[in-house]
A = this chain, B = another copy of it.
Amino acid sequence: MMGEDKFDTSPEWVDGETKALEAPGDHRAELRLWLRLLTCSTLVESEIRRRLREEFDSTLPRFDLMAQLERAPDGMVLGEVSKRMMVSPGNITVLVERLTESGHISRTTLPTDRRVQVIALTPFGRAEFEKMAATHADWISDLFAGLSPKESGVLMDELAKLKRSVISALAKNT
């Protein structure tokens, strides 16, 4: 863990005053930041889920899966979908079953390797997805409307740093 750079040689804006008030191992600032991040994403996510259900009788996982397939005209292997969506393989199996039943996607066993399943949007699924995607984009735009382009840019950059930080921490712990 960090924050114990007692011999910190970092820039002057880290003044003794700020540090003086913090005990070693005081992680309150990070915790607040994490809670705020989680609150924001929960607020947006649950609203999107609600609207997908009400207006399209669909769900976020279904939408996300179709979004992955939209940019893969030749389809995608299940394992790849699982990785990109950051969910477990078993999860994909269930989603694919339902989306196949409802006619939104097709699934094919690869002839050269019968372990491999390739899924792709059907024309119907693509049409449905495009309708949803356009509306979805409006929703997001709406929810984020209070941020100026400049503020969006700053947030984008800071989140990029956070993402790098998290990924690097994950990589370290084996």
Contacts and interface: CB of A to CB of B under 8 A. Distances in A.
Nearest to A60: B38
A162 interface: yes
A42 interface: yes
25 contacts: A1-B130, A1-B133, A2-B130, A2-B133, A13-B150, A25-B137, A25-B138, A27-B138, A30-B144, A30-B152, A33-B144, A36-B159, A37-B159, A39-B86, A42-B86, A43-B163, A47-B170, A142-B169, A143-B166, A144-B162, A144-B165, A146-B165, A146-B166, A147-B161, A155-B155
Nearest to A146: B165
Interface string A134-160: 100110111111111111101110111
Given A41-B37, A44-B34, A14 B142 contact: no
Identical chains bound together, number: 2
A1 B150 contact: no
A112 interface: no
Given A34-B144, A158-B155, A1 B165 contact: no
A40 interface: yes
